[in-house]
Structure 1
């Protein structure tokens, strides 16, 4: 028969079974205990820091089970499914993947996996990487899972209502009475005790599985009850117990009951059969009277309690409140040399002492508003009921001054008491009073103290010096025994506002006010400020410890400033100091009223006593409670996608990455800090934040690696860096090949522009050639023909003349005319461009060098590189002119011993270099002087520009000079045969003149 309990039936049956078990001395449902822990000083339930999460915070209802995984997340099994809590966010997980909605059992294994059990016997394993595996019937029993645990040998045990089963090496096994002694009857509870023994409890029996054993041993219900609390002979349980218990670090049990959570513990020395001390949290904040459904202790020692509509957190804070009492609220207090705290209640309650427990003192006839202890151990208390002194265990009333006995004189409460080293008692109310050797002195007797528009607000004795703080930014010092008075105000550098507290410093005095905190040293005031703009305003208690630490108590919380930071501040008082701030989240009850001064008192053995409007608390300054567990950072999603695959592709055209990450900081999650960076960007620097999300925009396509770390509330950083890689695919216009094509296209356009420029120059050269041809034709058809005609006529005239002298003169004229005709024909030949012979440029250069170097002792050499080609006549004249200027400078100005010319014929260019070994020159200086008239450099540069040529000068003073002219081939060389004839008839074909080469 299949046994299936629905939620309501399971709850009723469990409570009924537990009530029966209680009557028989049987323990409550299971509780997993991680191991015995050395208990610190015991704290009552009201001394724990309590935080309540409700539906407004996102807390789910109907929590049935809780567990913590290896990363530190708190998992909640509810009637609505599985939820994960990181301290700030309740997030439902695996909503559509788990086989059942209601979860009754959870277990976090050491390997990071989470085991989930629910109705109908289904068991699921969620691996650390999120992989989900589920088993059901068969092989598992189809009944509600109550308890799961993994024993040290690695075997997982699953206990349901109807039986026991285990998973070992991937194989499930059912256990029964015949095979290994497991119970067959209905099971009400199961648990694992502190000694790693597995207990299974039915209505009448208990079964125990010892470590290393494969067989259950039947035992007594009393033995199971004792094993549950690890206390022999103890079998007490509340009759309305509901669900699992949790054991805290003090050994106390947190028991869910129908009337709320109950905390039970046995006092030291109590007999085994004695009932425990039961505690319940004070009403307020939670649903204390609602049924508590589950309790769980996490690895940090925090206790979690689930009710019908809330999830409550109880944890030991850094600050420990003393037990609540009306007499401790907004109280005046002081500590004596033994460490005992003397508390004077402002209300009508009797004063008290505290040395681990509150002890009321005899009523003193009214409220106490100020308390002080003297060097000899005397305790003073003052209030509306009078002045009292405690000495040698005896209280006595000390008569007031006659002026103070007048009721009209004490309408203002006494707000300060101080005792000097020589035993003088100082007291402040509307004015300042002094009692020494039974003699009172009042404001009229203490000359020099402020009396007009100044009200005393604080009093402090520093040896035999008494310091008095006033409203209106004033303090005064009085020296015993001479009673010399000195006052300080704004003109002296004091700038704290109304003075609220005065305290001793190793090298001066601390002065706190409603506006700032200052330190007085050698007559000079220095303001203490904290990083982030903290001014330490409204400080009502100051303690500077012997080790240099400074503690401040104020409206915003309890500040701690490290000794090293204080030492650095003393060297540089303008430097803001780092600080640690503790408040209600650390256990401080409320905040001190600015009306009540001296809210921080140093006690014995490093204790600091803290006063507030809700009571008194203490902190052990030498052993501050710290969370030493390093958080484990988890990256949840990138742009909504899970990064479990290790690397994520965000898609084409994506420019934004929104990365969600978190770390389970359950204690004080609002103080968690994160630092992250994105490798692959230009500025991959660490960014620190309190947010659990990072957004990057304007991301280029490529591969990225996101890295993040987390720190808990006490600044302990995670030991490893969580990282995830993701990539952004480029659009087609963002690919390397597209950019390459764009670059090639740009280069092609540039090259095309260059070709167009060369073509344009070629066209100009062709036009010049055509023009030269026209000139040659006209010259041939006109001048040469006229000369030829003149020659014929002269010949005819010569032949007709018989005078020898005249005939001789005419023949000479004929000879000159023939020479002119020959020269004209040569010019025409040159102009028409019909020359096909190799270039005569080298010959012209050599001839030119002979002329220019005739007056120089420099040696000349000419080198020709490559096969000589015919040079375009239209360009040759400019080239010849530039070379002429080069050689002229070399021979006349360089003072060279050798001058060489190199003519290089290449397919695509013609270059001429003139090199000398002369004095050289400063090229930059020459370039600057080139703008002056009369320099040949300007002409050479202009001719080079007209030829679209490259003109360079390389020279250093004393190192000679090399001048090079490089002319593009299409401009320098003679056109192929017939080119001009073709171009003559087809002007449009000039664009077909392409030629680099």
Structure 2
């Protein structure tokens, strides 16, 4: 350890003083953000969450990120929009300088019955309790559109105060109130009555009307704010604190108050306190001339201005200070509070500034005796002094003078951290690169890495109840007990060895902010919390705790609200909440160690862009879940229309779904949960506003998405769209059916081809066999018969003569049978005509001797199978033989017809024989047998003759 000599130098001090207001969290949107025009006349939030902005050049729809603009080319009657109203059917009514439009799902049209309104500006639209419409105009009085679509005009001659009407409201009793240029007119039971200055109004020129939940009517005039009770008015003006008497707009606040837009800024009137809080461009408004005001569903107030676009006010829980408000430099490195309650702010390059309770800054720098204007840290002494650690040494400010130390007594100049020991009263000084110093009021003692300090760069110092000192270094955490260091690093559980800040919480536990997250030290162990646990950023510059126990962490992305109790409960909790510039911070990049909680519980955050003051008691949680919408779908880079039965071609596999969760408080912090049903994936989480899918296989899908606001509230409903990815044509049912049909056709063709070919071969073979039998066997048998006849002409023995006769007869019989066989086999005889010819030949040979007439009937061109032809012919022969042998008939009717696979053979005579042979003989049994061979039914009928009937169904 090294000893340094005490030094005392007294410098004279000069003071510079300036008083400025603070900047409040106003967020402005104008032309550069996409708004069509900076003059805003009316605002409306629809039931889907969109904010509609009527400007002097176009209608705008805003989702928190993007503006959609509508003009006359989209269907508007005029580009100057004066009034907006949403009806009970969620249709948007738009009052223009040339009539009224209706917007319904991006379709813009007008009603023919409203054509009389096109000659003037429509300033207000109201739908009454009977769902009838009232239109206030600038010069044409009031128009009333009833349920029967009948339009009626009321003017000054009908009792209206004036033909120029600015606003319409309806109270709980159904009374209509009109703000006119000549007083307040009410319409009750069909009668008009007008209140003017004679009744207590400060001015007859009225601008706006508003009704509170308890039914009070408030009137904005050119001379102040008024409330009517019965027939009496209570009015408030600039003398009562109103920022300006010319009131343009009134909005009822959910927290018992009114927001007033005037020609010189905005005023909030608190009902309970009966006092005004005023806001202007000095506090962050875009423009002091406010045309319209509107509360959104999240409790934020919007201001539509004349030339400044729209401003969103999130509340006064954040207040910011920069160079413009009196800071000497925007890089704020440390904050402290002295015994008088004033706050001291250290800047890097501007010295130190004192912010007193009136909001005025007093700056002290090197010209006033400060050792260096680049200040790292501040700490207040209980005795009223202020210790200032700079890049070039230490300054102590007491009795309006600086005590500085030169290089000979304090050669280690870069004082980065200050802490006064509660146990010894000594001051501890952390340096950049030169260890830690102790100062007892007279001398300095140095501790470095040679003394086992973890690293010579010491960023923060904290003391625990046991008297131990904890040092945040660039090499980890060092704990000094007595004269012994105990070091902790990544190996012991720290998320990173670069430690930037230390906090002792309300329970006495230590927290460390590092370059890799935060860590809690309890019972000898570190609990690490990093981006893997949901921390929005890994670089943590400081950590502070408010009176409620909530932790606040400074990062490169803003300040993180950390609810450690929620972090310990369930995974569904939302322990981290990020505050950024869009919500009121002066800058997103914080400065290491630049946080402070004052005696009032207010938190102060230093950044590279200025100073932010935060009042935790005014913090409001956003309980309004976002409204979620699927904005558009693109396929292969082309946007497609969203419709119920959506089909996507097979070659368009690249699909992009764009969606938005509408939350105006922190639109850039809305998170999404989505899934594609039937794709095999579960719920996914993203902060992006679009999802891409590629190479989707054919099938039916449903895309679903939900949104979460910055306070963890999920949308109660899911936005979803069902669609079908069509299969490629070779997977379509019609193509598969066509292929199957073609395959069946080819198979059938091949089968038929070979079948026909086989049949042709068989027929050729049958013809050949028939020819061979006829030519060879038939000729041989005929020759035998002839030879037997020739031998019979010769003298032979009687016994031989008888044998020769038998041989001849048998040969002829065989020839006759062979002829039938040859005829049956021959493929040239397969038609019914061939069969009937054969039958006729047989009938002629058998029945001609009996003088029996016959008649043939049938379709002659049908082809017959061989077995069918043969068996039918043999049945027929048997039937004819029976007729010839046993019937005394003189007529036979023969019918032969075919029907596909079916046929009918009928042989019927008109004989009267009743011989039993016709019923039970061998011939009938043969016919039964042959009928079975061809799978046919045979019947024998005895009604008016005898009929053999053989048939088979098709």
Q: Where do residues 572-583 of structure 1 align in structure 2 (5 Å cutoff)? A: 579-583=576-580
Aligned partners of 1:530 and 1:577 also within 8 Å: no
Q: 1:114 aligns with which of 49, 72, 92?
A: 92
Partner residue of 2:219? 227
Q: Where do residues 542-941 of structure 1 align in structure 2 (5 Å cutoff)? A: 542-543=543-544, 550-563=551-564, 566-567=567-568, 579-591=576-588, 594=591, 597-602=592-597, 608-619=603-614, 624-638=619-633, 647-648=644-645, 650=647, 655-656=652-653, 659-679=657-677, 681-683=678-680, 685-698=682-695, 704-726=701-723, 734-743=731-740, 745-746=742-743
Aligned partners of 1:592 and 1:599 also within 8 Å: no
How big is the shift at 1:296?
4.0
Q: Distance in 1 between matches of 2:753 and 2:273?
A: 109
Q: 2:82 aligns with which of 104, 125, 134?
A: 104
Q: Distance in 1 between matches of 2:160 and 2:562?
A: 60
Partner residue of 1:145? 122
How big is the shift at 1:149?
3.0
Q: Where do residues 391-410 of structure 1 align in structure 2 (5 Å cutoff)? A: 409=411
Q: Distance in 2 between matches of 1:45 and 1:254?
A: 21
Aligned partners of 2:632 and 2:641 also within 8 Å: yes
User: Alpha carbons of 1:494 and 1:116: their partners in 2 closer, same or farther (altered >3 Å)?
Assistant: closer
| Residue 531 of structure 2 corresponds to residue 530 of structure 1 | yes
Q: Distance in 2 between matches of 1:652 and 1:432?
A: 71
Partner residue of 2:502? 502
Q: Distance in 2 between matches of 1:252 and 1:383?
A: 47
Partner residue of 2:313? 315
Q: Distance in 2 between matches of 1:709 and 1:697?
A: 21
Q: Distance in 1 between matches of 2:612 and 2:407?
A: 35
Q: Distance in 2 between matches of 1:447 and 1:677?
A: 58
Secondary structure of the structure 2 residue equivalent to 1:233 = strand
Secondary structure of the structure 1 residue equivalent to 2:23 = helix
User: Alpha carbons of 1:128 and 1:655: their partners in 2 closer, same or farther (altered >3 Å)?
Assistant: closer
Aligned partners of 1:86 and 1:662 also within 8 Å: yes
Q: Distance in 2 between matches of 1:500 and 1:535?
A: 17
Q: Distance in 1 between matches of 2:749 and 2:533?
A: 63
User: Alpha carbons of 1:63 and 1:554: their partners in 2 closer, same or farther (altered >3 Å)?
Assistant: same
Structure 2 residue ranges without an equivalent (≥5): 1-20, 207-217, 228-233, 761-933, 935-954
How big is the shift at 1:73?
1.0
How big is the shift at 1:734?
4.8
Q: Distance in 2 between matches of 1:497 and 1:548?
A: 26
Q: Distance in 2 between matches of 1:445 and 1:702?
A: 70
Secondary structure of the structure 2 residue equivalent to 1:55 = helix
| Residue 244 of structure 2 corresponds to residue 255 of structure 1 | no
| Residue 189 of structure 2 corresponds to residue 183 of structure 1 | no
How big is the shift at 1:159?
0.8
Aligned partners of 2:37 and 2:56 also within 8 Å: no
Q: Where do residues 150-549 of structure 1 align in structure 2 (5 Å cutoff)? A: 150-151=127-128, 154-162=131-139, 163-169=141-147, 170-177=149-156, 179=158, 181-184=159-162, 186-187=163-164, 189-190=166-167, 192=169, 199-203=177-181, 205-209=182-186, 215-220=192-197, 221-222=201-202, 227-228=219-220, 229=225, 232-236=234-238, 244=249, 251=257, 253=259, 255=261, 257=263, 262-265=265-268, 279-282=279-282, 288=287, 294-306=292-304, 311-316=309-314, 320-321=318-319, 324-326=325-327, 330=332, 332-334=334-336, 342-346=343-347, 347-348=350-351, 350-352=353-355, 366=370, 370-372=377-379, 381-382=387-388, 409=411, 411-413=413-415, 415-421=417-423, 423-429=425-431, 432-434=436-438, 440-443=443-446, 448=451, 450=453, 454-463=456-465, 464-471=467-474, 473-479=475-481, 482-488=482-488, 496-504=496-504, 509-514=510-515, 517-520=518-521, 527-531=528-532, 536-543=537-544
Q: Distance in 2 between matches of 1:591 and 1:704?
A: 41
User: Alpha carbons of 1:609 and 1:508: their partners in 2 closer, same or farther (altered >3 Å)?
Assistant: same
Taking only aligned residues, the RMSD between alpha carbons, in angstroms, comes to: 5.8
Aligned partners of 1:98 and 1:124 also within 8 Å: yes
How big is the shift at 1:423?
4.5
Partner residue of 1:899? none
How big is the shift at 1:74?
1.4
Aligned partners of 1:77 and 1:83 also within 8 Å: yes
User: Alpha carbons of 1:56 and 1:659: their partners in 2 closer, same or farther (altered >3 Å)?
Assistant: same
Aligned partners of 2:698 and 2:724 also within 8 Å: yes
Deviations 1:711-769 (A, max 9, x none): 33433222222334455677875542432343455567789999999999999xxxxxx
User: Alpha carbons of 1:592 and 1:71: their partners in 2 closer, same or farther (altered >3 Å)?
Assistant: closer
Structure 1 residue ranges without an equivalent (≥5): 1-43, 764-975, 977-997
How big is the shift at 1:270?
9.2
Deviations 1:643-674 (A, max 9, x none): 68x62454776745555443433332222233
Q: Distance in 2 between matches of 1:450 and 1:536?
A: 28
Secondary structure of the structure 2 residue equivalent to 1:718 = coil
How big is the shift at 1:94?
7.2
Aligned partners of 1:345 and 1:351 also within 8 Å: no
Deviations 1:283-318 (A, max 9, x none): 99x9658x7665544333434445576533322169
Q: Distance in 2 between matches of 1:516 and 1:141?
A: 63
User: Alpha carbons of 1:448 and 1:313: their partners in 2 closer, same or farther (altered >3 Å)?
Assistant: same
How big is the shift at 1:147?
1.9
Secondary structure of the structure 2 residue equivalent to 1:742 = helix
Aligned partners of 1:458 and 1:501 also within 8 Å: yes
Q: Distance in 1 between matches of 2:699 and 2:28?
A: 45
Q: Distance in 2 between matches of 1:62 and 1:396?
A: 51
Deviations 1:197-227 (A, max 9, x none): 8654555x20232788863433334277772
Q: Distance in 2 between matches of 1:56 and 1:544?
A: 36
User: Alpha carbons of 1:625 and 1:568: their partners in 2 closer, same or farther (altered >3 Å)?
Assistant: closer
How big is the shift at 1:72?
1.6
User: Alpha carbons of 1:455 and 1:629: their partners in 2 closer, same or farther (altered >3 Å)?
Assistant: closer
Q: Distance in 2 between matches of 1:68 and 1:577?
A: 27
Q: Between Structure 1 and Structure 2, how many residues are aligned?
A: 708
How big is the shift at 1:71?
1.3
Aligned partners of 2:52 and 2:61 also within 8 Å: yes
Q: TM-score, normalised by structure 1?
A: 0.58
How big is the shift at 1:546?
9.1
Q: TM-score, normalised by structure 2?
A: 0.60
How big is the shift at 1:241?
6.2
- Give the number of the structure whose residues are more often strand, by fraction: 2
